[in-house]
Amino acid sequence: MVTNMPATVTLNNGVKMPRFGLGVLHIPDGPDIANAVKWALEYGYRLIDTASIYRNEQGVGEALRASQVPREDVFLTTKVWNSDQGFESTMNAFQSSLDRLGVDVIDLYLIHWPGPDPKRTLETWRALESIYLTGRGRAIGVSNFQIPHLEKLLAEVEIPPMLNQVELHPYLQQTELVNYCREHRIQIEAWRPIMQGQVHEIPTLIELARRYRKNPVQIALRWLLQRDIVVIPKSQDRVRIKDNTDIFDFQLEEGDLARIDALDQGHRLGPDPLTFAEDFG
């Protein structure tokens, strides 16, 4: 059964973004990142998600230039790290990312984590607004922001975030946050959507994988897509990069979506954004 799911989502500023891409956290710069991006593009990925703190922007850029895929066909995301927050330092960090990536425009630029100082977060957002208004960022957003962070930001900004990238998977569904973002037309994107491979250990997903003739990773990714959430599974293994794309030829039934919804435990694998304060100084 081939589904008619669109290949993109439309952000609140009208920019179209692929709903599926490659995350590159912890993939070392050099041959490892070059191969991962190369294989991803070969298998049809058109969204690459990196960050300054990943220290592989240079390799991502080199892989994009080596590819036969035109730059305008690849949606490129990167992020400002915590220690670079503030207006001027964010502007400088953005330029450094452009230089390392070897591009003139970033498709999506994100604040990587909410900081403990709302004033500094607002200054950082003002920098992102400036980047957006000058056309060097086609879209801007945040990452790991919870409702209290968003409430404070939305009360002050001229341009609202277009996307919020958060940890989201069967054991951490953040339903209240997802609903809040939808009410404010902020697209949700899931990082760690396959729980670092732990989805292979979830009985419900194993059972559904057998029934749909897929694997648990593909079931988890498809569930998120059908919930209108952008997904960026990370891998540097060629076979897994290819297998992760095999999610557009089937559709989970509503009852099966509900079974996965019922798995929520509020269980984080990454830091809690309400307490995380690494490198803010």
| Angle made by CA atoms 160, 163, 165, in degrees to the nearest 5 | 135
Q: Could you tell me the two tokens for 90? A: 């964010």
Coil, helix or strand at residue 229: coil
* Per annotation, catalytic residue among 43, 45, 54, 212: 54
Residue 54: active-site member: yes
DSSP 8-state assignment for residue 157: -
Cβ neighbourhood burial of 6 (10 Å; 0-12, 13-18, 19+): exposed
In the chain, the amino acid numbered 242 is: K
Closest to 10 (Cα-Cα) out of 186, 175, 130: 186
Count CB atoms within 10 A of the CB of residue 68.
Answer: 6
| Residue 52 CA: distances (Å) to CA of 191, 255, 260 | 16, 41, 33
Tell me how far apart the terminal alpha carbons of the chain are, to the nearest angstrom: 52
The residues assigned a catalytic role are: 54
